[in-house]
A and B are shown apart, each in its own frame.
Chain A
Amino acid sequence: MKATVLIIEDEPDLREIARFHLEGAGYDVVEAADGGEALDRVQSSPPDVILLDLRLPGADGWTVLGDLRRHLDADVPVIVLSAHSSGHNVERAAREGCRDYVRKPFTARRLLDAVRNALASGGDSTTS
């Protein structure tokens, strides 16, 4: 059975790019442009892994992460996808239990490695 990846990203171009790479690698892809859409999607299509942008319209990525955790199995891995490269955000992602931190711009290889590793790993969080 295909794993489902939820992309929470407000930039349509970046959703399209991520979708292209993920579908090419055999994943089902569900998209959300903000936190409200993300909560709808996790109920209609429970994801196996989540890609989360930090700067979103309305509630920011950290708030959305908290909302998602209240609605999802705690083991669903979350990967941050962000143009913020500060150590502060990377450290916070680790503290919040995110499995990886993929910086924009990203390559297909970097994105797919992150998703593959998150799906294969257990409950441990790691960042790079």
Chain B
Amino acid sequence: MDDDFLNLVAHELRTPLASVLGFAEILATSWERRDDEERRRLVERIWANAQEANDLVARLVDYTRLKARRVTVRAQPVVLAEVVEHCTRSLTGVLGEHPLHVEVPAGLRVDADPDALDHVLTNLLDNAAKFSDGASPIHVRAEAGPEGIVVAVVDEGPGVEPAERERIFDDFYRAPAAAAARGAGVGLAVARGYVELLGGRIWVESEPGAGSTFAFTLPAPGENAT
């Protein structure tokens, strides 16, 4: 593990931890002067920032395991809508005020490891929520196509410049417009790693200023050649 990676991890963890420790210090030193509502608000900020630090650690563990090729997937026929439902239920904190529209045909099956698919969707939805305005909708769509099943996460964010559409999946890459965003810059790399393990491919379609569609393919049951 090189110094650049350690410095990046340390920096990204310190940011939410600074809020956790800062609000905890405020509560500890001014508890008597604050009413219940104010105490609750500060505790909720501590909770949210601690959750963010925990999510970051989970993502970095995912990333290092993928890089070390220590992840195995066991593909099986799964109902896509059920995996999407399970994933999005656990992401309410990440999605915040973004309305989520799931447009996945009932009964559509894919050949996938549900945990690996959950990792892909989690990272794509986290990316969509992070880089689009707080109340803009996010869509999850799926349909059968010639390459198998195509799943897409669609946002109304600033979009991706043509020159960045390949690099955006690289480890630690940050588009210039996202240079100050929180996170380790591995979410899309992790998504790509899992998609490739599942026998699919991932790409982004986007026009600057008109949102982005992050799409990936999965084999339909019976098609998986991996």
Contact = CB atoms under 8 A, between A and B. Distances in A.
Contact of B10 (A57, A58, A85, A108): A85
A86 B26 contact: no
B98 interface: no
Interface in A68-116: 83-86, 103-108
A25 interface: no
A3 interface: no
A124 interface: no
Contacts of B45: 13
Contact of A83 (B15, B20, B21, B30): B15
B18 A106 contact: yes
B14 A57 contact: no
A55 B12 CA distance: 11
A106 B25 CA distance: 10
A43 to B, nearest CB: 23
A68 to B, nearest CB: 18
Contacts of B25: 17, 107-108
A20 B21 CA distance: 14
B209 interface: no
Interface string B55-86: 00000000000000000000000000000000
Nearest to B181: A57
Contacts of B49: 13
B15 A108 contact: no
A17 B19 contact: yes
Interface residue range, chain A: 20 to 34
Contact of B21 (A57, A58, A85, A105): A105
Nearest to B14: A83
B175 interface: no
Contacts of A11: 15, 18-19
A55 B26 contact: no
A40 interface: no
A60 B176 CA distance: 11
A10 interface: yes
Contacts of A21: 26
A83 B18 contact: yes
A21 B66 CA distance: 43
A104 B14 contact: yes
Interface of B: 7, 10-12, 14-15, 17-23, 25-26, 29-30, 45, 49, 179-180
